[in-house]
Amino acid sequence: MPISPNLLDYTLEGMTGLFAEWGEKPFRARQVFRWIHQRGEGNFAAMTDLAQSLRDKLGSAAAILPPRVAGEHASADGTRKWLFATGTGNAVETVFIPEPRRGTLCVSSQVGCALKCGFCSTGRQGFNRNLTVAEMVGQLWWANRFLSGGVSRERAVTNVVLMGMGEPLLNFENVAAALEIMLDDAAYGLSRRRVTVSTSGIVPAMDRLRERCPVALAVSLHAPDDALRDVLVPINKKYPLRELLAACLRYLENAPRDFITFEYVMLEGVNDSPRHAKALLKRVAEVPCKFNLIPFNPFPGTDYRRSSPAAVGAFQEILAEGGRVATVRKTRGDDIDAACGQLAGQVEDRTRLRARRLAAVAP
Long-range contacts of 348-353 (CB under 8 A, 24+ apart): 348/88, 348/89, 348/90, 348/128, 349/112, 349/125, 349/126, 349/127, 349/128, 350/126, 350/127, 350/128, 350/129, 351/114, 351/126, 351/127, 352/126, 353/114, 353/116, 353/124, 353/125, 353/126, 353/127
Give the separation between CA 246 and CA 238, rounded to whole angstroms: 14
The reply to whether 340 belongs to the active site is yes
Q: Which of 41, 93, 135, 167 is catalytic?
A: 93
Helix (H, G, I), strand (E, B) or coil at 108: coil
Per-residue buried b or exposed e for 196-230, using 16+ beta carbons within 10 Å of the residue's own CB:
bbbbbbbbebbeebbebbbbbbbbbbbbbbeebbe
Give the separation between CA 352 and CA 114, rounded to whole angstroms: 10
Q: Which of 117, 120, 289, 340 is catalytic?
A: 340
Dmax of the chain from CA atoms?
69
Residues 6+ apart with CB under 8 A from 345: 83, 90, 91, 92, 93, 108, 111, 112, 122, 125, 165
The reply to whether 321 belongs to the active site is no
DSSP per-residue string spanning 153-183: S-----EEEE-SSS-GGGGHHHHHHHHHHHH
The answer to whether the Cα torsion of 5, 11, 17, 22 is positive or negative is positive
Give the separation between CA 54 and CA 126, rounded to whole angstroms: 44
* Catalytic residue ranges: 93, 340
